[in-house]
Amino acid sequence: MKVRIRNIIFNTKEFANNSRYNSVTFEPKEKVNLMNHFLITYSTAGSVRALLSDLESAKRFDKSKPKYIGINESHIYADKEKVVFDMELVTELKPIELDLNDAIGFFSLYYDYLVKSEISKELKHDEFIVTTQLFSQIEDAIGQNTASSVGWAKRQLKVVLNVFLENKSLVIEDINIRLTNIEEYKKWKKERDKLNHFNSEELIKEIELSNSRNQKW
């Protein structure tokens, strides 16, 4: 029986040795423990991005022959209608079944949370430090051209543009570039066609409107 999860809140605990533990709470509460085991398996933005790609491709699979996604003792069976998350062998917790779109929505939220969390570790008072990997992931998401992937890409570009609205510099660490304003950013991204999928000025207007209303992007 499919479960509809709601009131999703992600959390991260940091320990003295700089390790981090990600967890989630949601309703129905009796299903939380199993999903937290999956968050341990998929603990980085890269691994969750790969999982989202697999879930998107599951739309081509029929119920009679679902797509299998497995890492270690975590097992996921996905078809065009549903996704089953199963770690019963090691956790003794019953599998959870979600609608495919609900599963994609859940891990899209988790992915956004991880990206912001990972970036924030490198955040200084006047700088926002990223690498070209972030922009490559944005380009890949735009290239997938699904509602969820393009929506995610748009939100990440808003994170980048908001850096300049906060009068901070964007540092692209692996290529040693510092961009201090929106005009410098627009000039830099000219050579990356997919980043021009969205109009920066329109995104800035949306950010400013959302910020004035204290709304999420």
Domains held by the chain: number: 2
Residue 113 resides in a domain: no
My answer on whether 160 and 87 are in the same domain is: no
pLDDT above 90 (res 74): yes
User: Which range is least confidently modeled, 5-19, 58-72, 95-109, 118-132?
Assistant: 118-132
Q: Give the helix ranges, DSSP H, for the chain.
A: 32-41, 45-57, 88-91, 100-120, 132-144, 147-165, 182-189, 200-212
In a domain, 21, yes or no: yes
DSSP label of 81:
S
Tens digit of each residue's pLDDT (9 = 90 or more) over 7-22: 999 998 876 555 678 9
DSSP string, 159-200: HHHHHHHTT-EEEEGGGTEEE-SHHHHHHHHTT-GGGGGS-H
Q: Are residues 96 and 166 in the same domain?
A: no
Give the residue-averaged pLDDT of 74-91. Answer: 96
Task: Enter the pTM of the model.
Answer: 0.59
**Is residue 154, in this structure, part of any structural domain at all?**
yes
One domain for residues 21 and 84: yes
**Span 95-115, pLDDT tens digits:** 999 999 999 999 999 998 888
Q: What is the pLDDT of residue 212?
A: 83
In terms of domains, do 93 and 165 share one?
A: no
Q: Which helix (H) or strand (E) holds 87?
A: none
Note whether 180 and 205 are same-domain residues. yes
Between residues 167 and 126, the one the model is more confident about: 167
Percent of the chain with pLDDT over 90: 63
Kindly state whether residues 39 and 95 are assigned to the same domain. Answer: yes
Phi, psi of 96 (to 5 degrees): -120, 140
Q: What is the pLDDT of residue 129?
A: 83
Confidence of residue 50 (pLDDT cuts 50, 70, 90): very high
Residues 137 and 196 in one domain: yes
Higher pLDDT, 127 or 168: 168
> Does the residue 85 lie in any domain?
yes
For residues 88 and 56, membership in a common domain is answered with yes
| Domain membership of residue 93 as a residue range | 6-107
* Confidence band, pLDDT 50/70/90 cuts, at residue 184: very high
Is the CB of residue 137 less than 8 Å from the CB of residue 47?
A: no
Q: Does residue 199 fall inside a structural domain?
A: yes
Chain mean pLDDT for the chain: 89
47 shares its domain with 79: yes
Mean pLDDT of 109-134: 78
The answer as to whether 112 is a domain residue is no
The pLDDT of residue 191 is above 60: yes
| Within-domain flag for 115 | no
Q: Are 136 and 95 in contact (CB under 8 A)?
A: no
Cβ atoms of 195 and 138 closer than 8 Å: yes
